[in-house]
């Protein structure tokens, strides 16, 4: 069975969202994904990392953890912060809900993650941070 893992930590700065997208895209290359699969993956990773940076922290010196694991034809991506956390994950996952309306955020981050990934799990605790786990199987047959 094909297995591979990686993990990185980076400062909670918006510029690192692009770094995270590229790192995950390069890591998953061994699965030979289609351009559509890569686009979906990049969107989901961008949203998860942006949520950690924008909603999780107020200090860019704090760290976001990103890990990936390939098992067979599936990738599991975990994005974690130790920021403010969320009291009501269900509410936060509603389309158009945002904790930062002053930044003109659309509130669609979790909706995009759900749409582009096969599985999404979000756990959070106020004052302790948030953990987002996304899974996607590559090369699955439609229909």
Known catalytic residue: 13? no
List 13, 69, 105, 135, catalytic entry: 105
User: How many C-beta neighbours within 10 Å does residue 122 have?
Assistant: 20
Distance from C-alpha of 12 to C-alpha of 23, rounded to nearest angstrom: 16
List 16, 47, 80, 131, catalytic entry: 47
DSSP code of residue 63: E
Nearest to 85, CA basis, from 108, 61, 52: 52
Element (H or E) spanning 28, and its range? helix 16-28
Known catalytic residue: 128? no
Are the C-beta atoms of 69 and 30 separated by less than 8 Å?
no
Known catalytic residue: 121? no
Angle between helices 35-51 and 16-28 (to 10 degrees): 140
List 21, 51, 80, 131, catalytic entry: 51
Tokens of 79: 């994005």
Residues annotated as part of the active site: 47, 51, 105
């Amino acid at each position: 069975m094909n297995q591979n893992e990686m993990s990185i930590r980076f400062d909670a700065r918006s510029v690192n969202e692009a770094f995270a997208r590229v790192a995950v895209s390069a890591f998953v290359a061994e699965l030979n994904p289609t351009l559509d699969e890569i686009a979906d993956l990049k969107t989901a990773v961008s949203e998860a990392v942006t949520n950690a940076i924008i909603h999780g922290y107020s200090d860019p010196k704090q760290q976001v953890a990103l890990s990936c694991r390939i098992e067979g034809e599936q990738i599991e991506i975990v994005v974690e912060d130790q920021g403010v956390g969320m009291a009501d994950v269900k509410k936060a996952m509603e389309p158009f809900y945002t904790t930062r309306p002053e930044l003109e955020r659309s509130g669609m981050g979790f909706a995009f993650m759900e749409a582009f990934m096969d599985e999404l799990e979000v756990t959070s605790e106020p004052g302790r941070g948030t953990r987002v786990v996304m899974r996607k199987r590559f090369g699955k047959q439609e229909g």
